[in-house]
Amino acid sequence: MKKFIFLLFLVGCGYSHSEDLTPITYEPLYISLWHDGIPLFVSSDASDPTIVVTATKWWNDQTGLELFNSGTSNKVYIVKDSSKVAEDKEGISEFISENGNLICKIFVTSYRIGLIKHELGHCLGFQHSSNSDNIMLPEAPDYGTISQQMILDLQTDFK
């Protein structure tokens, strides 16, 4: 049986030491989670899976990797369940081990495209970013992008 060890990294917004307190922009921290490799199988309770399919295809297209597909033991479940999400949040991702396989469960308040892309980013191992264009911004913008460093992190891990 495989053992999974998870380290929780808390990343806060840093500030420079200059007098104007200019915020420092940081890339999302990447933690390698999927030691058995990719692609990850994604399922959801959405009555119309279009947004989930669009979000998984976006990650695949942005990185040039087949991150999400079907038929693998590593799974991502997306469930609309507001009771699992803090009142001031739209989604949460959590990891569990099921029969020796790593499972990422995503709980969301809605199937908004930016939110699904953002939570899939957490399932891939990314933490929050302070870059206002990044999909890993805590507000999960619908227009968010991923940085070259994020692509490099995934390509290095999975190629």
> What does the pLDDT read at residue 61?
92
Query: What CATH class has 40-158?
Result: alpha beta
Helix, strand, coil content of the chain in percent (nearest 5)? 25, 20, 55
- Look at residues 121, 9, 3 and name the one whose alpha carbon lies nearest to residue 62: 121
Which of these, 128, 113, 34, lies nearest to 78 by C-alpha position? 113
| Structure confidence at residue 40 (pLDDT) | 79
Q: What is the mean pLDDT of residues 110-124?
A: 93
Tell if the pTM clears 0.85, that is, is over it. Answer: no
What pLDDT is attached to residue 62?
A: 92
CA-based torsion, 2, 94, 146, 8: positive or negative: negative
Percent above pLDDT 70 for the chain: 73
Among the listed ranges 19-23, 49-53, 95-99, 154-158, which one has the minimum average pLDDT value?
19-23
pLDDT at 88 over 80: yes
Report pLDDT for 135: 94
**pLDDT at position 22:** 47
* pLDDT tens digit sequence for 126-137: 999 988 889 999
Name the β-bridge partners of 95: 104
Helix, strand or coil, per DSSP, at residue 122: helix
More confident residue, 108 or 73: 108
Q: Per-residue pLDDT for 1 more than 60?
A: no
